[in-house]
Amino acid sequence: MSTLRSTFCPPRFSVSGQPLTLFVAIAVVCLALSTLLGLAPYLVGGAVAASVAVFIICFVSTEASLYLLVLSMLLSPEIGMGALAGSSNTVGGRGVTIRTEDLLLVVMSFAWLVRTAVHNDLGLIKATPLNQPIAAYTVACVFATGMGMILGHVEGMTGAFFVLKYIEYFVVYFIVANNVRDRAQIRRLTIVMLVTALVVSLVAISQIHNGMRVSAPFEGERGEPNTLGGYLLLIGCVAAGLLISVQRRSHRMALIVLLLLMLVPFLLTLSLGSYLGLPFAYIALTAMKRRSRFSMVAIFVVLAAVGTVAAPQSVKDRVLYTVNQKSMSHDRVQVGGLRLDTSTSERLNSWKQAISDWTLSPIWGYGVTGYTFLDAQYPRVLAETGLFGGVTFALLLLALYRQGYGLFCATNDPLFSGLAIGLLAGLTGLLVHAAGANTFVIVRIMEPFWLLAGLVVSASRIEAVAANVDENTPALA
């Protein structure tokens, strides 16, 4: 009996050392915290208390902390930060801000490390197909920035801060990949992600009466409509991927309602980059549809025709403004017989200048923050991290495509298939969006993106385990 009990019952959690010693240590820590909180300003005290509470939640239940993180991605306020490296609150046009989810990620990471130290069987970082591409790109950013510091292009504190901001969303991926173990968890996290998008869309719709371009909640005095456009493009692809995968009528109706609600703020962001990304994402969705692709093509044609007629006038004006701007500026770029607007022309000119300057430091570039601000992802990667960063960035994108397509081919589960399609279509749309924005370093787009990547990789692992079990299960005679 004792043998059976030891076999089937997990051992109780034990702590080395005497219980009295542990109790005294906890009491001392609590007494020190209470004393410090009593002396600190109430905002600092509240923040510390909240951090301790979140730490306890993260330690006890990583899944609960993931829900908090998903909700905070677009629904958390930003916190102003003092000057870095003796500069103002902007560095080369780069705003230095911290959001609540940044702090939450720090607390979650610390709780993750403590939990791993206590439970040795958990492992620090699970082996996944994206680990090496992520590590290579991270090394490229760190190396390029280090060289930029040595050569005087990068201020030390500023460069270090922005490198951390560049790679912080990878933490989201590793936390998800390490802690999601079954389909039910993936389903719940997907629901929370879609509910967050619903709340964001409703908040954005409530801004329409102001007559301004809509933006995500808590964007400060100057919103970032282009960021909201990229976020809605990504989550819209996830919802659309699920829509063409699931069969239950109630689920399909809910997804259709969500897509229609998201379409309104998406159009009113007046984000040209988001508009350009939409048809490419739709082509990817059509290519991934397993059956009846003709219906997808027909729907696209109908939507394009209706949109041309029924789109809000502000949307039409924004699209036509690209070639109809009333300006005599000599800096406007001419393509064929069309003269582009000053904003688009500036982006194209910045591409040309960045490529020209990159040739002066082709291997490692100028380092993160070592080059002037560029509002376009590809020349920014090239100028800041050189050929090393450009190649590793491309390999990372290729690995993401491989993961999404691998899951799509391997699974018959509608949830997993929908997430794979969403990753493939969303990544395609964001690659177009990145031609005129720093898409892959914008935290409010990249945190949901890497959450999605973590879910896809976790789903692939679950599928592989299930397939292995099926192969090893003997057939009944």
The whole-number pLDDT of residue 8 equals: 43
Decide which of 143 and 310 is more confident. 143
Reported confidence tier of residue 201, pLDDT bands at 50, 70, 90? very high
- Residue percentage of the chain with pLDDT more than 90: 40
Over residues 271-325, the pLDDT tens digits come to 888 999 999 999 999 998 877 777 788 887 887 777 777 777 777 677 666 656 6
Q: pLDDT digit string (tens) for 374-408?
A: 888 999 999 999 999 999 999 999 999 999 999 99
pLDDT of residue 70: 83
Whole-angstrom distance, CA of residue 51 vs CA of residue 45: 10
Closest CA to 407 of 183, 98, 81: 183
Residue 471 has a pLDDT of 56
Strand partners, 94: 91
The 10 Å Cβ neighbour count of residue 272 is 20
Q: Above 50 in pLDDT, residue 105?
A: yes
The first and second tokens of residue 125, run together, are: 């970082």
Cα angle, residue 408 at apex, residues 466 and 433 outer, rounded to 5°: 140
Residue ranges per domain, the chain?
41-465
pLDDT tens by residue, 7-44? 444 444 344 445 566 556 556 655 665 565 555 555 45
| pLDDT interval class at 421 (50, 70, 90) | very high
Q: Which residue has the higher pLDDT, 459 or 16?
A: 459
Confidence class for position 410, pLDDT limits 50, 70, 90: very high
51-85 confidence digits (pLDDT tens)? 666 666 666 667 777 887 788 787 776 655 444 44
Question: Which class for 131: exposed (0-12), middle (13-18), buried (19 or more C-beta within 10 A)?
Answer: middle
Confidence of residue 5 (pLDDT cuts 50, 70, 90): very low
Rounded CA-CA distance 444/72 in Å is 10
Is residue 222 over pLDDT 90? Answer: no
Q: What is the mean pLDDT of residues 155-177?
A: 86
Angle, vertex CA 229, rays to CA 196 and CA 271, nearest 5: 160
pLDDT at 375: 83
The pLDDT assigned to 146 comes to 94
**C-beta separation of 453 from 423 below 8 A:** yes
Average pLDDT over residues 95-111: 67
| Mean pLDDT value of segment 102-112 | 70
3-state per-residue secondary structure call for the chain: CHHHHHHHCCCCCCCCCCHHHHHHHHHHHHHHHHHHHHHCCHHHHHHHHHHHHHHHHHHHCHHHHHHHHHHHHHHCCEEECCCCCCCCCEECCEECEEEHHHHHHHHHHHHHHHHHHHCCCCCCCCCCCCHHHHHHHHHHHHHHHHHHHHHCCCCHHHHHHHHHHHHHHHHHHHHHHHHCCCHHHHHHHHHHHHHHHHHHHHHHHCCHHHCCCCCCCCCCCCCCHHHHHHHHHHHHHHHHHHHCCCCCHHHHHHHHHHHHHHHHHHHHCCCHHHHHHHHHHHHHHHHHCCCCHHHHHHHHHHHHHHHHHHCCHHHHHHHHHHHHCCCCCCCCCEECCEECCHHHHHHHHHHHHHHHHHCCCCCCCCCCCCCCCCCCHHHHHHHHHHHHHHHHHHHHHHHHHHHHHHHHHHCCCHHHHHHHHHHHHHHHHHHHHCCCCCHHHCHHHHHHHHHHHHHHHHHHHHHHHHHHHHHHCCCCC
Q: Output the pLDDT for position 444.
A: 87
pLDDT at 101 over 70: no
Report the chain's mean pLDDT, rounded to a whole number.
79
Distance (Å) of CA 23 to CA 13, 30, 152, 449: 16, 11, 52, 43
Give 198's pLDDT tier (boundaries 50, 70, 90).
very high
Q: Residue 148 and residue 142: Cα distance in Å, rounded?
A: 10
Would you place residue 411 in the very low, low, confident or very high pLDDT band (cuts 50, 70, 90)? very high
- The pLDDT assigned to 88 comes to 39
